[in-house]
Structure 1
Amino acid sequence: MATAPPLEFLPPRLDGRVLAVGRLVLPLWLRWRCRIDTVEVDGMASLVEAMRSFQARESRLLLAFRHPSLDDPLSMAQLLWVELAQAGRQQGLRFDPAPTGQFLFDRGIPLWAGAAMGWLFTHLGGASIQRSKLDLPALRTARRLLLEGPHPFALAPEGATNGHNELLSPLEPGTAQLAFWTAADLAAAGRRERMDLLPIGLQYSYIEPIWGAIEALLCRLEEGAGLSPDPGHDRAPTQLLERLVRLGERMLEQMEAFYRDKVHLCLPDGEAPLAETASPPFGPRLQRLMDLALRRVELSFGLHPSGSLTDRCRRLEQAGWDRLYPAPPANAAPLSPLAQGLADRLAAETEAQLWHMRVVESFVAVSGSYVRERPSQERFADTLLLLWDTQCRIQGQTANQRPRLGRLRARISIDAPIVVDERMVDYRRDRRQAVQALTEELALRLQRLIVPSTLG
């Protein structure tokens, strides 16, 4: 693998023609590609009023949405382009311009999904951001759009998908910080608009029972892990849970053996079997293995372990990008063939090291308790798809084409807005504490919007 030019910032290039085509294609794409048949919205009155206030120049609006799935951008588009527009018409409101949102997207998406996806996102009003560094062009753009943009701005405060419909990842402070910056910018400009932060929950459930599809995917994953599938007529959650536990245990054992015997990480020789312990060791064992795998990559990159596993993955990703897409020194002479060869070798070794990080990203969200606590078909599906992602990564395959286990219902829940201006006194007194408090309030609001899946 050879080094490549630096990753440039992708600015928003909102194009009304692309937006118009998107509005036409979206309903078909949701049903055909995402298999989302229905979108149910709870709390639409809150969004209608927030949009009315925004377009009347009474407020600026930041939409903070949960991010459990790669389908979330499409669900948010359906909410703004279709559901909100219809709800407005029913109340005699004509939104002008037609509702849409501008947003930030991970700069890595065009790398794994293709340059066409980056083009589409920017022409729908998005701007790229490199999440693990101070990306000043992205932050300046977001701040400008929040203050002056013709549309609301949307962010996922979790920062990335976690694959769990019923678990909220720790929120990043950037959403709260942007909201405070905008409130301060409005005050500094002498403008009277308030700054509204609107929590939006996203969640997916299956319209029909999918236990047969769950068992079929479980069989595929068992075969992938070298287990003999044990399909049967009994698809009771208790039986499937035993097989899921066995699969997770087998995958963990094989990964432990790989890192202990082939990569030579210092792992203990053995653990009690998962199913025979009162307190399942799967979670702690997985966390320990992921920690050691990341330490190996951090050592090769010259980084010190710090923060959560997710934080460390993002920092490693950024360090890898800095190697793979290096910024050339000013007035640098062209590299000699020998120097170029060494640079290409470094790029190849970097990509190999990032493989470990990507496996951790896929496997780290798996826990030994998520399904056990509530053995619903949605939680089974969440966990099996994460294990499918992990097996794909380990086998060097792309995880872009996930299995679709059944027709889905998207549930969008909208809370009342958080008025950021009411917290500005606290922000001026102690900015860090105010950002933390707003982040905690947003997390509490988003957590309350999660509806437990039904059993049976």
Structure 2
Amino acid sequence: MFYLRDRAVTPREYRAQPKLQFIPQRVNPFLLRLVMLMLPIFLRFRLRSWLPAGISQIQVTNAKILAEFYQQFQGGKIRLLFAARHVEVDDPLSMMYLFSRTLPRTARKLGISLQYPFFSHFLYDRGMTLWAGRWLGWVFSRLGGVPIHRGKSLEREAIRTVRELLINGTMPMAIAPEGATNGHSEIVSPLKSGAAQLGFWCVEDLQKANRSEEVFIIPIGIQYYYVTPPWRKLDKLLSQLEADCGLAVQGIGSSASERHKDIFSQRLFNLGEAAIAQMEAFYRDYYHCQFPDRHPGDTPEAVLGNRLQVLLEKALQVCEQYFHLQPQGNISDRCRRLEEAGWCRIYCQDSTDPNALSPLQRGLGDWIAHESAIRMRHLRLVESFVAVTGTYIQEKPTIERFAETALIIYDAIARLKGTKVPHRPRLGWRKSQVTIGTPISVTQFYLNCQQDSPREHRQAVKKAVKSLTTELQIALEKMIST
């Protein structure tokens, strides 16, 4: 908190705010073309920090499938959705390259004529505009993005917009079914049912309109590799993290290389153990959490993984108790519900303007908003480690897995130190591998669940949505190159 004379000036998220408004999509072909032209710059530099984005190569597998199905879409024969992996915040750059470079290039090779624009509408988290700035909502709107609240069902405006775009949009729709990044190229988080549900809505709306287009979902895998293994920069990052955790710095120096894998593995293990031990003490001393005894028969990695999962559970419980929520679903689902509960207290859900309240009411509203924002830091901690296991590196000790784990620890420590949006250090130039999967017919799934009575039909559709989501999960996991 900062003070200006006798007035307290608090961060924006610590004050009661008006209700978050829906941001309608308004595609601007000029801006879309401009962003496409600037893609090489975005691939190398990130806005705000101007640190190297680190993507020097993007390779696409099975691009022919994309070109052929996009042609059928533009010809009015099919409706199309893309279900893409969401490894990290740079994934949209890989998707943008896919549509702006790979798609037209492949179409020309195949003699396929496509009409501009060839891009896709996309769903994005409404919360991104809170930490990145309102400008992001303006840009996403004009690129065809539709905002959603991850912690609850789509709002009425979002539902209406998405369903209209699904059947009448001039571009396909893209969605990240994992719901959030997990920082792991080789682990697919449990998928949400949103992509499958959108597909079924599209089929239903087409049938109501007496239209015959078939609806397809194309799974898209994204995976990252380092062009040159950055062992020296990894060594430097680990040294920084060791200092942050109060450990003796075990830097190797300029001689750091692949032959030091065992040393890097031990350093990461020590970092994880130190961070978990300090967080256990924090929750034990200040939130009265109890932690179970350790099982001496387990391997050290298994013990560390179990301790991490218990720690995340305690952090979620602390947050859920404050917001009076019962645990429901997996860790990711619980984080989304907590996020929505916090937003409901920070952003007024009715038409009341916080500035129109009496000074006393506004003060109480700011108090609640402040407390809610602080409590939400527990779920941000959990989000950092949502897919982390104690055996990820042990199973396959590659530079990619070493780097991913170190960067996840970096994010968590940076947030605990007070950084709202950590700017990750870039360890080296990377290659993005984008894989186009086998298209899945949503229409066939829907036709297979037709029933005589409306009630039986609804139950069959629910099962079909679950089944389609499972098939998408399997398809994305199969595309991981091991």
- Give your verdict on TM over 0.5: yes
Matches for 1:266-415 after TM superposition, within 5 Å: 266-268=290-292, 271=294, 277=299, 280-328=302-350, 334-415=356-437
CA distance in 1, matches of 2:266, 2:296: 13
Out of 134, 152, 161, the position equivalent to 1:141 is 161
Alpha-carbon distance between aligned partners in 2 of 1:423 and 1:237, rounded to the nearest angstrom? 47
Segments of structure 1 that go 5 or more residues without pairing to the other structure are: none
Deviation per CA, 1:279-336: give whole Å up to 9, x if none.
Answer: 6211221111111111111111111111111111110100000000012368999533
Question: What is the SS of the residue equivalent to 2:262?
Answer: helix
Q: 1:220-244, CA deviations, whole angstroms, 9 ceiling, x for partnerless residues?
A: 1111111111122464211110111
Task: Tell me the amino acid that sits aligned with residue 335 of structure 2.
Answer: C
Structure 1 vs Structure 2 CA RMSD: 1.9
Residues 380-403 of structure 1, C-alpha deviation per residue, up to 9 Å, x if partnerless?
Answer: 111111101100111111334111
**1:63 has 2:58 as partner:** no
Q: Which residue of 1 aligns with 2:468?
A: 438
**Amino acid corresponding to residue 162 of structure 2 in structure 1:** A
Quote how far apart the aligned CAs of 1:364 are: 3.0
Aligned residue in 1 for 2:136: 117
Match of 1:76 in 2: 95
The match for 1:239 is 263
For structure 2, list consecutive stretches of 5 or more residues without a partner in the other structure: 1-13, 47-52, 452-459
1:428 pairs with 450, 455, 460, which one?
A: 450
Kept after mapping to 2: 8 A contact 1:286/1:364: no
- Residues 16 and 354, structure 2, Cα contact 8 Å, conserved in 1: no
Q: 2:151 aligns with which of 132, 138, 157?
A: 132
Aligned residue identity for 2:271: L
Look up the SS of the partner of 2:481 in the other structure: coil
Deviation at 1:24, TM superposition (A): 1.1
Deviates more, 1:399-408 or 1:99-108: 399-408
CA distance in 1: counterparts of 2:249 and 2:354, whole angstroms? 59
2:197 counterpart of 1:167: no
Q: Could you list the per-position Cα deviations for residues 325-372 of structure 1 after superposition, in whole angstroms to 9, with x for gaps in the alignment?
A: 012368999533222211111111111111111111113332211111
What is the 5 A alignment of 1:80-95? 80-95=99-114
Question: Secondary structure of the residue that 1:427 maps to in structure 2?
Answer: coil
Amino acid at match of 1:41: V
Q: CA offsets, 1:241-275, max 9 Å, x none?
A: 0111111000000000111112322234x64799x
Per mean C-alpha deviation after superposition, the further-off stretch among 253-262 and 427-436 is 427-436
1:123 and 1:287 mapped to 2: Cα distance? 41
Q: Determine helix, strand or coil for the equivalent of 2:87.
A: coil
Q: Structure 2 CA distance, aligned partners of 1:129 and 1:279?
A: 38
Match of 1:201 in 2: 221
Distance 1:333 1:426, change over 3 A: same
User: Residues 278, 40 of structure 1: CA spacing in aligned structure 2 closer, same or farther, 3 A cutoff?
Assistant: same
Contact 1:196 1:420 in 2 (8 A): yes
User: Which residue matches 1:177?
Assistant: 197
Contact persistence 1:6–1:326 (CA under 8 A): yes
Any idea what the Cα deviations from partners look like across 1:18-61, whole Å, max 9, x if unmatched? 11110110112112332211110100011011101101111011
Letter in 1 for 2:373: E
Rounded to whole Å, the distance in 2 between the matches of 1:333 and 1:387 is: 40
Query: In 1, Cα distance between the equivalents of 2:367 and 2:180?
Result: 30
Moved more, 422-431 or 87-96: 422-431
Cα distance, 1:419–1:364 mapped onto 2, change above 3 Å: closer
Matched residue, 2:478: 448
| Paired position in structure 1 for 2:33 | 20
Correspondence for 2:457: none
Deviation at 1:87, TM superposition (A): 1.0
Tell me the distance in 2 between the aligned counterparts of 1:279 and 1:129.
38
1:365 touches 1:386 (CA, 8 Å); kept in 2? no
Conserved 8 A contact 1:65-1:154: yes
When structure 1 is superposed on structure 2, of 174-183 and 397-406 the one drifting more is 397-406
Amino acid at match of 2:21: E
Aligned partners of 1:366 and 1:387 also within 8 Å: no
| TM-score (ref. length: structure 2) | 0.90
SS at match of 1:428: coil
* Distance change >3 Å, CA 278–CA 219, structure 1 → 2: closer
Q: Give the Cα separation in 2 of the matches to 1:409 and 1:339.
A: 53
Kept in 1: contact 2:80–2:217 (CA 8 A): yes
Give the residue type in structure 2 aligned to 1:263: Y
1:180 and 1:345, CA in 2 relative to 1: closer, same or farther beyond 3 A? Answer: same
Instruction: Pick from 56, 59, 73 the counterpart of residue 54 of structure 1.
Output: 73
Q: What is the total number of aligned residue pairs between the two structures?
A: 450
**Of 9, 14, 23, which residue of structure 2 is paired with 1:10?**
23
Inter-CA distance 125–333: structure 2 relative to 1 (3 Å threshold): closer
Worse-superposed segment, 372-381 or 395-404: 395-404
In the TM superposition, residue 431 of structure 1 has moved relative to its aligned partner by 0.9
The TM-score with structure 1 as length reference comes to: 0.95
